[in-house]
């Protein structure tokens, strides 16, 4: 009479199998985490690129529509400035550009206003902000529209060119230089991106 033995795993074989399984699980988890991190980084960079594109389009529109039209200060103070740029510091904020632009659309003439708009660009708390007055000649209660265009701004530098001459500042006013620059160069240093150099042309360039 023959006695048969059932085959099975020894304790050592079970431990080895569990060890190999744990290695495979750890490797799979690491690969999954790397994939998720890569996806988040790509999405974050895409968001930054969209912000840059939006800021560029907005600046291009404003600068391209800039006009020689001095604005009055509060309570009808004498009109003078219409285009200024550079390091125009104001307290804790840094105003880098001020201009008056035309072509502000008013579909169906629903609002009682003209097509001119006074626009200011500031760096506040690491963000590039566009501030637009609904009317160029400001009164105490003239509404403003504030819009954050870019975040993570570490540094901003402007240069202005006319007739081939470049300058780090520009003050266009009735009593100063009653003209616009032809080209505006804006160099931004952005967190996680580095330097972004952009050129914009005014109507004087054509």
3-class SS of residue 71: coil
Residue 189 is predicted with a pLDDT of 92
Residue 45 is predicted with a pLDDT of 63
Asked whether 187 and 197 are in contact (CB, 8 A), the reply is: yes
pLDDT, mean of residues 128-149: 83
Asked whether 189 and 153 are in contact (CB, 8 A), the reply is: yes
What are the tens digits of pLDDT across the range 69-91? 888 765 555 556 788 888 766 65
Name the residue ranges covered by the structural domains of the chain: 62-149
Q: Which residues on neighbouring strands pair with residue 5, listed in sequence order? A: none
Q: State the Rg of the chain over Cα.
A: 30
Question: DSSP labels for 105-125?
Answer: --GGG-SS--S-EEEEEEEET
Place of tokens 């799979």: 28
Tell which residue, 184, 131, 127, 186, has the closest CA to residue 154.
127
What are the tens digits of pLDDT across the range 8-52? 667 777 777 787 788 788 877 878 777 766 656 655 567 778 889
pTM (whole model) above 0.75: no
Tell which residue, 99, 133, 113, has the closest CA to residue 204.
99
91: left (phi over 0), alpha (psi -120 to 50) or beta: left
The CA distances from residue 191 to 42, 152, 195, 205, in Å, are 15, 5, 9, 32
Q: Which CATH class is domain 62-149?
A: alpha beta
Say yes or no to pLDDT of 120 above 70. yes
CA distance 162 to 206: 12
């Amino acid at each position: 009479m023959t006695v048969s033995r059932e085959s099975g795993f020894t304790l050592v074989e079970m431990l080895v199998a569990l060890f190999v399984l744990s290695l495979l699980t750890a490797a799979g988890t690491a690969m999954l985490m790397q994939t998720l991190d890569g996806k988040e980084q790509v999405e974050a960079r895409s968001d930054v690129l969209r912000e840059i594109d939006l800021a560029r389009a907005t600046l291009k529109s404003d600068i391209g529509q800039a006009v020689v039209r001095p604005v009055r200060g509060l309570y009808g103070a004498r009109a003078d400035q219409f285009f200024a740029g550079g390091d125009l510091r104001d307290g804790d904020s840094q105003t880098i550009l001020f201009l008056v632009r035309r072509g502000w659309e008013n579909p169906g003439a629903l609002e009682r206003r003209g097509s001119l708009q006074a626009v200011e660009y500031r760096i506040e708390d690491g963000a590039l902000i566009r501030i637009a007055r609904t009317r160029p000649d400001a009164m105490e209660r003239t509404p403003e529209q504030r819009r954050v265009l870019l975040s993570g701004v570490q540094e901003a530098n402007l240069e202005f060119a006319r007739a081939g001459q470049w300058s780090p500042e520009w003050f266009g006013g009735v009593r100063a230089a009653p003209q616009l620059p032809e080209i505006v160069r804006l160099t931004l240093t952005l967190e996680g991106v580095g330097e972004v150099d952009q050129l914009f042309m005014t109507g004087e360039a054509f």
